[in-house]
Every structure is written in C-alpha cells, then in structure tokens.
C-alpha cells in the first residue's frame, strides 16, 4: 500500500497538526465567548507570506463554528460585501425564519449588482441588511464571525466594511471581525485616515513558532501515517524550519518522501529533504518577497550580507554610502515588512528564514 504524504506544503492548506499558535486561538475564541465589547472581537493577524495567516483564519472560524458562531469568509476584493451577505444568509439559513428569508432574498436580489456608490434610496444599505440578519440570528444567540484575508486598503469595500463594523460594535451586536495581511499592507491600513478605528484592533504578529512545538507537530504528523522518525532526523528538520510554518510543511513533506516504503525516517532522509525544501522555499516564498521590495530596501539587505550574523546600522549606512538617518528609514520599512528584526541596540538581523542564503546566491 502506498501511504499518502501527510504534509501540506501549499498556501492555505490546513496542516494535520498545527504547531504552536494556541495562545492566539484561545485569545480570539475567548473574545467571542466574552461578549460585545471584548477587544479581541476585532483582531488582525500580521505576518509575511507562509507564516500561517490563512490557516489560522480557517482554524479559528472552524473552532468558533463549534460554539454559537457562523462565519462569512472573504478575501479583500471588490464584491467582498456581497459575498459576506450571501455567506451569512447561507450559513445562518437554519436560524432565519422563512418569512424573513424571502424578504431577505428580495432585498438581496434588489441589491445585487449595485455598487456602494450607485445605491438608490430604495436599496437598503449593506449595513442595514446585515443588521437585520444579525438581529434574527441573535434570537438564537448565534454570532457572526467575519474573516477577511489578504487585506489591502486599495479596496474601498474593505474600508466600508471596517466602518460599518464599528457601528455594529457600538450597537453591541454579536459580531467579530478577524483580518489577516502582510505587514506592509496592514501598515497601510493603520495609516488610512478613514478607518482610524482599526488601530484599536488587536494585532497578533505571527512570529516564529517555538522549535519544541515544531518537533512535536512533525512527529505527530509522521506517526499519524504509521511511520517513525529517528531523534537526530527530527531535531535536524525542526531546527532547519526556524519555526517558519511554510518550511515546517516543506521539510516534513520532502523528508517523508525520500523513502516512503521504509517505516522509519532517518537522518539522511532529513538531510536530503532539507535540500529539496530549500528549493521550494526560494520559488514559493523568497522570489515573491524579494520582488516586493524597493530597490533601496534590497540594497540595504545586500549591505547586511558581509556580516556573519547581526549587522551594525553604522556598517550598513557606510556600505550603502547613505546617512544614518536614511539608513534607519530603510530599516524601519524592512522591519515592518517582516524581513529583518532589531537585534540589540543599533543592530539588525534577518528574520525571514533562508533570506540571507537566497540573497547570497542571487546578489553576490
């Protein structure tokens, strides 16, 4: 029998065993339980590509679904408001009385195709229609969790959603808004004057997962297929991941497939697995991350390469031939993008795994 590889190195794929992240999940679920006004009911997950944002949104929506919450899940885009309305109706169907259902359907048919700007007086607003449904759901003590992935303030409907949500909160409705986005995109949102409300939302940075959690998730995933792994192989693979979710799946996937017909995964399998994982990390994460950087930001990173570990800001400024003030502007931008991090006073280091190696390979 050919065993199926249990690892999930694909964007948005829920892993068999989630490593770490318990605290974030618990905070948000407790916020839902706690009632209107709990600050966790407006939360933003912030992290670079591959840090596990989409998977966390799914996990939290599923967990909330086991309690009294239905969810409407969208990716930021034009049309997201219609989609939220549709999903709320569909997922709340069993709680919406038949009469209200036809009424809502009529209203919806009426509203569809109208952009927010073009709405006529007769078309009830999105906010009004949502409030009506939420009131019906509230009779059954059902709350609504709205998740928005890949936030981007270029979408007017996202701004509109955040503003309406603020009213829902004031009206003490059973509703929560959980958003996720890249560090640069969330920063743009915080700077948007139209929705200063979001600055008060809880922010969770999806940092590296502790290696001990990685170890146990890797091990459980392998054992779930009836195989085993040697301790040195497990330790090598877990350390290699640096706690970066995408790498956990990549390294697991590739070491698992080295000799799938053998019951036990050995050190050599881990080493070969790491080789392949690195290639995919380049193609699926680092190529895009580096492409998103401005030329100056890239030069800053290249100026970090001569240092074996952390880099002094003064050395970077020297190598770039810019003033300390200019260099620290770049520094701030890169920190916000989740690419580097502060390392003691006046020093920085790479925070995205394998980025240094990637830049060495391509830019030296």
Residue 154 C-beta: closest distance to Mg ion, Å? 17
Q: Which is nearer to ligand ADP, 7 or 350 (CB)?
A: 7
Least distance (Å) between residue 320 CB and ligand ADP: 30
Distances (CA, A) of 221 to 6, 25, 202, 216, 281: 7, 20, 31, 8, 20
Which does residue 173 touch among ligand ADP, Mg ion, none (CB within 5 to 8 A, set by kind)?
A: none
Residues that bind ligand ADP (CB under 6 A): 8-13, 15, 18-21, 47, 49-55, 209, 217, 245-246, 248-249
Q: How far is the CB of 150 from Mg ion (least distance, A)?
A: 6
Q: Smallest gap, in angstroms, from Cβ of residue 121 to Mg ion?
A: 39
Count, residues in the chain: 364
Q: In three state form, how does the secondary structure of 185-231 look?
A: HHHHHHHCHHHHHHHHCEEEECCCCCHHHHHHHHHHHHHCCCCEECH
Nearer to Mg ion, 132 or 152 (CB): 152
| Nearest distance, CB of residue 185 and ligand ADP, angstroms | 12
Which stretch of DSSP H or E encloses residue 254?
A: helix 245-256
Contact 41, 175 (CB under 8 A): yes
Backbone angles phi, psi at 149, to 5 degrees: -95, 155
**Residue of the chain from 8, 43, 54, 289 that contacts Mg ion (CB under 5 A):** 54
Q: What is the DSSP letter of 137?
A: H
Q: What's the CA gap between 243 and 5, in Å, rounded?
A: 21
Nearer to Mg ion, 54 or 89 (CB): 54
Q: Residue of minimal CB distance from Mg ion?
A: 54
Using the contact rule CB under 5 A, the part of the chain among 39-47, 51-59, 89-97, 201-209 near Mg ion is 51-59
CA-to-CA distance for 202 and 54, rounded, in angstroms?
17
Closer to Mg ion by Cβ: residue 53 or 73: 53
For position 89 contacting Mg ion by CB under 5 A, the verdict is no
Structure token pair of residue 349: 């280091």
21 binds, among Mg ion, ligand ADP, none (CB under 5 to 8 A by kind): ligand ADP
Q: How far is CA 306 from the centre of its chain?
A: 32
Q: Kindly state whether residue 249 participates in binding Mg ion, applying the rule CB under 5 A.
A: no
Which residues lie near Mg ion (CB under 5 A)? 53-54
């Amino acid at each position: 029998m050919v065993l199926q590889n249990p690892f999930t190195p694909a964007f948005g794929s829920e892993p068999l065993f989630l490593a770490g992240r318990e605290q974030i999940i618990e905070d948000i679920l407790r916020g839902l339980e706690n009632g209107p006004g709990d600050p966790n009911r407006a939360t933003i997950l912030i992290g670079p590509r591959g840090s596990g944002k989409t998977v966390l949104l799914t996990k939290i929506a599923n967990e909330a679904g086991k309690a009294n919450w239905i969810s409407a899940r969208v990716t930021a885009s034009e049309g997201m408001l219609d989609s939220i309305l549709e999903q709320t109706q569909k997922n709340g169907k069993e709680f919406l009385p038949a009469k209200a259902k036809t009424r809502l359907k009529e209203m919806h048919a009426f509203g569809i195709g109208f952009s927010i700007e073009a709405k006529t007086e007769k078309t009830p607003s999105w906010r009004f229609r949502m409030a009506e449904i939420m009131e019906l759901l509230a009779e059954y003590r059902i709350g609504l969790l709205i998740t928005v992935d890949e936030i981007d303030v270029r979408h007017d409907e996202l701004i509109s959603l955040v503003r309406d949500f603020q009213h829902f909160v004031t009206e003490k409705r059973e509703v929560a808004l959980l958003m996720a986005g890249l560090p640069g995109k969330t920063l743009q949102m915080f700077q948007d004057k139209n929705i200063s409300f979001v600055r008060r939302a809880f922010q969770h940075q999806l940092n590296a997962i502790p290696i001990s959690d990685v170890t146990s998730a890797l091990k459980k995933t392998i054992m779930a297929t009836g195989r085993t792994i040697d301790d040195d192989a497990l330790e090598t693979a877990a350390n290699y991941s640096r706690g970066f979710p995408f790498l956990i799946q990549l390294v697991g996937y590739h070491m698992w497939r080295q000799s799938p017909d053998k019951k036990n995964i050995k050190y050599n399998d881990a080493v070969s697995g790491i080789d392949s994982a690195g290639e995919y990390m380049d193609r699926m994460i680092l190529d895009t991350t580096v492409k998103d950087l401005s030329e100056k930001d890239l030069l800053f990173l290249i100026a970090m390469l001569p240092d074996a570990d952390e880099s002094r800001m003064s050395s970077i400024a020297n190598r770039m031939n810019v003033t300390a003030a200019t260099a620290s502007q770049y520094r701030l931008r890169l920190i916000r993008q989740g690419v580097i991090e502060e390392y003691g006073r006046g020093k920085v280091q790479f925070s995205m795994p394998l980025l240094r190696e990637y830049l060495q390979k391509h830019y030296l």
